[in-house]
Amino acid sequence: MTNHSIVTAFLLLEFSALWELQILHVFLFLGLYLAIVTGNLLIISAIAFDHHLHTPMYFFLMNLAILDIGSVSVIVPKSMANSLFNTRLISFSGCVAQVFFYMFFAVSDFFLLTVMAYDRYVAICNPLRYEMVMTRQACLEMVTCVWLSSLLLGVLHSGGTFAAPFCSNVVNQFFCEIPQLLKLTCSDLYLIEIGVLAFAAVLMFKCCIFIIVSYVHIFSVVFRMPSVQGRKKAFSTCLPHLIVFSTLVLTSSFAYLKPPRNGPSHLDLALTIIYSMVPPLLNPVIYSMRNKEIKVALSKLLGVSNSFRNMSFNVLL
């Protein structure tokens, strides 16, 4: 394939040439997908139907759950369908859509975690000003900025990735991942996307610094709290967010900063599965297991009695 116009479809990575292993892949991905969607839908429903959770922290958490469902829904169903029907094909427009929507949801995830760090900073370090700062209008504006800025970056990433002509259509990944697509380009136009990636990396680095500085201040205040119960409550709201953020940063950094490989790699595949599916899977588990208010809301939603709820959560913890 010598120019961009000839590429009308891409071939995604095949998990195995054996039909039995392809079906195993379908069932494994289906199980993970259903667990992610179910867990995050429970979080969304618990927050939406419990008026005690209509606070900024849980408003942001509900948005995070929506983004997690969106990110896996962009890539997992297509991969399962390809294995089920024994094909590797994805159309050019489908590949563009995957890049755009996945980057939109992934970047939104990161920006939203930054906003959540600010929310925790104000709540713990400036509790008397919390209601004045984190008003309903302010929260809506922050979330709107997250979605709009991510939408812009999604457009820039998809435009930069597909600006260059492709010399091959074989993508060594189970979805249209940007680093794998850039390996297929055959002109200097791929430098446009490199520039967009560099710009996004600078933004992400600034977000990381902001979150780290916020938590330095948060923990300095928490450790000075005279009440053990107060420290416990502060940790129960901060640690889940910190664990989710650390998981997302570490897994995505390994995937995007590793040395490039020419052919398909089991390490590349494993890292991509980890950074694309583990954070959305862990988010509802971490927040529901470490947050008493979420536990209560979920038990009400599911109609679980107090005695059974306490017994089950004690066993899980």
Q: Which of 299, 306, 283, 290 is nearest to 69 (CA)?
A: 283
DSSP 187: S
| Arch. (CATH architecture) of 4-316 | Up-down Bundle (1.20)
Rounded-to-integer distance, Cα 118 and Cα 67, Å: 19
CA distance 161 to 138: 34
Check: CB of residue 4 under 8 Å from CB of residue 164: yes
Query: Which class for 35: exposed (0-12), middle (13-18), buried (19 or more C-beta within 10 A)?
Result: middle
| Chain position carrying tokens 């948060």 | 218
Q: Along the 317 residues of the chain, how does pLDDT read in single tens digits?
A: 444 457 889 999 888 778 888 889 899 999 999 999 999 999 999 999 888 888 998 999 999 999 999 999 999 999 999 988 888 899 999 999 999 999 999 999 999 999 999 998 999 899 889 999 999 999 999 999 999 999 999 999 999 999 888 988 999 889 999 988 988 988 888 888 889 988 988 998 899 999 999 988 988 888 888 877 777 777 777 777 788 788 778 777 776 666 656 656 677 788 888 888 888 988 888 777 667 778 888 888 887 644 444 544 443 44
Tokens of 63: 């948005």
In the chain, domain spans: 4-316
d(CA 115, CA 121): 10
Query: If you write DSSP's letter for every residue of 211-234 in order, what string do you get?
Result: HHHHHHHHHHHHTT-S-HHHHHHH
Two tokens at 104? 């939109």
- The burial class, CB within 10 Å (0-12 / 13-18 / 19+), for 33 is buried
Query: HSE of 312 in the Cβ direction (CA atoms, 13 Å)?
Result: 12
First to last CA, the chain: 56
CA 183 to chain centre: 24
